[in-house]
Structure 1
């Protein structure tokens, strides 16, 4: 009896630990810096971490009980709404299928409303269609008929989706459901109910259409082999799934070689410090030979006794620096046996000096680079599309534009913007000028001595290759397809257009802006 009580306590403790571990893992997929990322490369460290995390969550799915299921599904739906690679998303779908097969009442309560959400992203909706189809296929007896009546009606409208992937995936899954539930080819007799005849005609079309057949051939094997029970066990988790991931395990003996390599690298680091520092110092920096930079280079000369002023932003522990009298004293007091140690100390001092020089040289060059922007401001407030805004921001930084005006700075937080701009928004000045404030902004800049130009084809526009750009100017770009509104054109000092030779005669606004910025920069460089 006592042994049975101890066994029950152990079982309860294991169950509680499993629940806690599962909830911690689910929380980490939402809050962890890497696991919550939506943009990552295939086979990267983040990709592998995501795969491993969701594999563990699938294995722990057996610990989900009624008292925690709503917390679990809430986290699951949040993760399903995010972008993920197929090799990660497959485990989210597997976990969801297992949960909804185990807790049947949640199908009507949670899954059906999600399938009816017309605003949901196509990738997430494709996952829910896959989940719903497998719940229908793997339910048994009366439960299967109940799931069919709940889930098939909201799935059918998705057959008409404008999104190709969602439409094709839904066609495949609906065909699979119809083939399983109505396997025999029944002639479309008028004696059958109209809904049955509609489904028979739909199944016949999906079976015979060549495009549907090709899609079915590429995916049907995976659907046929899917087992919701086996898929949450180690044997199913670690079998080949959607993608053949590259082999990522390494033998233990390789770690010994890595440790040995790191130790050797640490031993070589000190001896190579001076050489590396000299390389950094000689690294080419785009600095003009003005008086200020020449003064900096003179101050930082290796052969001069130099005293650097303290800068709180570059404050760090220095090696010992000997004065002239200290060096003479040390020279007289060191014995011949200590000459090697003395020389080592002098080498250490020289290494520190070289690093200081390189650091201050880089700082001076960077400060000069930040202050030497061109006197041109690009007004892109009329542009709506994120790829165009991100590309323009990147182009403006390349040409060191004085600033770019956009309608709303919130776009800078968009993942797609950040992917295209490659951090350009951190360097080029960004101005927030709503569309309603463009005219006031242009009039203000005109009073400050800026020339206001628009990139637009008008009756009096001047060809780009024939226009002499002023040094201080504001360049206004128009809306995609529509161009610059008439009320803003009336404020402009001039309109310039890019000569075009083709039939379309309409350049993308980002491309047009880039061409104009290059011509402006070329003219300023030639002066």
Structure 2
């Protein structure tokens, strides 16, 4: 049976402050739990719907079985019919060595967008994302849920982007920009940082001035803009084609 201390811990992980102080985060739902159990992440304990007790008889992770309603009360999700995992977070201070292709996110603050971008990167085999310090937190439960388990295969680092880009001159820096070169005609460099800005503000000026080439997704209709996650998917698809 869960103790009051464990319940308090789970509730604290709903906030960024609690996640940072405890160095823990929540993984919720069947897909995420299955993925994290088959990863290098350290799972502290599980809270699982009692109806699925038979699926966890062989697990070595401490597991507590509760009703669906009890789990939903502990969850950040509106409805959670499966369970949640309390997981030890990893440091996001450094990614080394850098891959030839790294996605750069400047001020992407919507958790759903970041989670979807992580999932898209996993689909296209991009393993590293570098975020500005004001981008949304990797371990936000909404981010983790939106990745559908891809968080375990994609590294994410938070930095001052201007310093980071200046410190890594071996990579070309390209940025998504409405005034850029038509993506359909663009040939990507072998070693490249692909910079995506926020949907509201785009790429901030201090980062924009470091961009060496600009690309745009050609528009055929009347929409003013594309969602940053959709844009990332289109750009990465063309990158893989080239």
The alignment partner of 1:412 has SS state of coil
Query: For the Cα contact (< 8 Å) 2:104–2:195, is it kept in 1?
Result: yes
Q: 1:382 aligns with which of 92, 107, 119?
A: 107
Paired with 1:518 and 1:417, the residues of 2 have a C-alpha distance of 22
Give the direction of change, closer, same or farther, for the CA distance of 1:498–1:39 in structure 2 (3 Å limit): same
- Look up the SS of the partner of 1:499 in the other structure: coil
What secondary structure, in the 3-state scheme, does the structure 2 residue paired with 1:515 have? helix
SS at match of 2:167: helix
Contact 2:102 2:129 in 1 (8 A): yes
* Aligned mates of 2:80, 2:154 — CA distance in 1: 36
Deviations 1:453-477 (A, max 9, x none): 001112xx20001111111000111
Question: Structure 1 pair 379/53, CA: closer, same or farther in 2 (3 Å)?
Answer: closer
Q: Is the 8 A contact 2:68 2:80 kept in 1?
A: no
Match of 2:21 in 1: none
Residue 46 of structure 1 pairs with residue 53 of structure 2: no
Residue 27, structure 1, aligned to residue 4, structure 2: yes
Higher strand share: 2
The 1-side partners of 2:121 and 2:198 are apart by 18
Give 2:144's aligned residue: 418
Task: Tell me how far 1:84 sits from its aligned partner.
Answer: 5.5
SS of 2:193 mapped into structure 1 = strand
User: What is the CA–CA distance in structure 2 between the aligned matches of 1:82 and 1:427, rounded to whole Å?
Assistant: 23
Q: 1:47 to 1:478 in 2, by over 3 A?
A: farther
Question: 1:155-194 to 2 correspondence within 5 Å?
Answer: none
1:409-437 Cα distance to aligned partner (Å, 9 max, x none): 9823222111111232222222222xxx2
TM-score (norm 2): 0.62
Mapped to 1, the partners of 2:228 and 2:9 lie a distance apart of: 38
Change (3 A) 1:471 1:27: same
Once residues 442 and 522 of structure 1 are traced to their aligned partners in structure 2, the CA distance between those partners, rounded to angstroms, is 25
TM-score by length of 1: 0.30
- CA contact 2:108–2:114 (8 Å) conserved in 1: yes
Contact persistence 1:38–1:82 (CA under 8 A): no
Q: Which has the higher helix share?
A: 1
Q: Which structure would you say has the larger RCO, counting Cα contacts within 8 Å and 6 or more residues apart?
A: 2
- Cα deviation, 1:86-129, whole Å, max 9, x if unaligned, reads 99xxxxxxxxxxxxxxxxxxxxxxxxxxxxxxxxxxxxxxxxxx
Give matches, 1:166-245, under 5 Å.
none
* Count of equivalent residues: 179
5+ long unaligned stretches in structure 2: 14-25, 31-47, 52-65, 82-97
- Could you give the per-residue CA deviations for residues 183-209 of structure 1, whole angstroms, max 9, x where no partner exists? xxxxxxxxxxxxxxxxxxxxxxxxxxx
Residue of structure 2 in register with 1:498 after alignment = 217
User: What stretches of structure 1 of length at least 5 have no aligned partner?
Assistant: 1-23, 55-78, 88-372
Inter-CA distance 382–522: structure 2 relative to 1 (3 Å threshold): same
2:33 corresponding residue in structure 1 = none
Alignment of 1:289-368 (within 5 A): none
Taking a change above 3 Å as real, the CA distance of residues 407 and 47 of structure 1, as seen in their structure-2 partners, is farther
Q: 1:378 to 1:47 in 2, by over 3 A?
A: same
Q: Which is greater in Rg?
A: 1
- Runs of 4+ in structure 1 displaced over 6 angstroms? none
- Aligned partners of 1:40 and 1:46 also within 8 Å: no
